[in-house]
Structure 1
């Protein structure tokens, strides 16, 4: 009678249990990493909008230097879509994540706004004014709250 003492020791490969353990580990890693990745993507898009607002502010200052007023910097008057800067952020990008507008303007001050669109919708608008004050409507309530006068995540 033939018996093989080491028949299984020469076989190579993984058992089903070993593969299922690896699949479970990968699933756990993905479940943890993907939401963090999504937050980082949204944060980087918000950073692009912040940079666009600062550049938009520089364009408003140039307009003031040329006209001695912040008025009439919009495409159709004092507010709305800007005539002195791009209307979307990222500036020159193929995908639009924020709409840029002049929210308020007088002869001596202005407030600029970046309103989220597309995949950024529901992430709260950003504002920047002539005094370099920043605000982020982080809770998406429609108005700037008492603890939202910065661009930092609370």
Structure 2
């Protein structure tokens, strides 16, 4: 028998088939990875918003009993203020593990109002997020600062 008469069977993949498969995988990754990262960032933004509104609820409960957001004469004990707010609610989001937002409270003199902010941690996973810093005022006004160009409040506060 001659080798030319024998039929040889090819096993495995050709180089062209491998290149086509790699191109398809690269295309899918180019679409899927940014969508996945945006989904993760939306989840982190939601955690920050929950923390901000949770702290605001604590302030409102305090106000309903003391008629001030910063009262040293209230019968509930120590006053709630910017310096002791971390004992009422964790100062970062999440409260354990690597923080990606820092919570801050600003209470003007007189204690008639407050503003709570959730700012991305510098160098953290949300440092360059399109929404920037979330703020919530005692009158319910929601805002964002440091956001990317063209990003509206309604794009970030859900």
The reply to whether TM is greater than 0.5 is yes
Distance 2:148 2:15 in 1: 48
What corresponds to 1:74 in structure 2?
81
The residue aligned with 2:140 is 132
Matched, 1:121 2:124: no
Which residue of 1 is the match for residue 23 of structure 2? 24
Calculate the TM-score normalised by the size of structure 1.
0.78
Give the Cα separation in 1 of the matches to 2:139 and 2:22. 54
Contact 1:60 1:84 (8 Å CA) reproduced: no
Residue 151 and residue 138 in structure 1: after superposition, are their counterparts in 2 closer, same or farther (change >3 A)?
A: farther
TM-score (norm: length of structure 2) = 0.76
Matches of residues 1-154 of structure 1 in structure 2 within 5 Å? 2-5=2-5, 7-8=7-8, 10-71=9-70, 72-76=79-83, 82-90=86-94, 92-105=95-108, 106-117=110-121, 118-123=124-129, 124-137=132-145, 139=147, 148=152, 150-153=153-156
RMSD: 2.7
The verdict on how the C-alpha distance between 1:25 and 1:5 changes in structure 2, with shifts beyond 3 A counting, is: farther
Size of the aligned set, in residue pairs, is 144
- Following the alignment from structure 2 to structure 1, what is the Cα–Cα distance between the partners of residues 118 and 6? 70
Q: How has the CA–CA distance of structure 1 residues 93 and 6 changed in structure 2, closer, same or farther, with 3 Å as cutoff?
A: farther
Q: Which has the higher contact order (CA 8 A, sep 6+)?
A: 2
- Listed as ranges, the gaps of 5+ residues in structure 1 are none
Shift of 1:82: 3.9
How has the CA–CA distance of structure 1 residues 5 and 52 changed in structure 2, closer, same or farther, with 3 Å as cutoff? farther
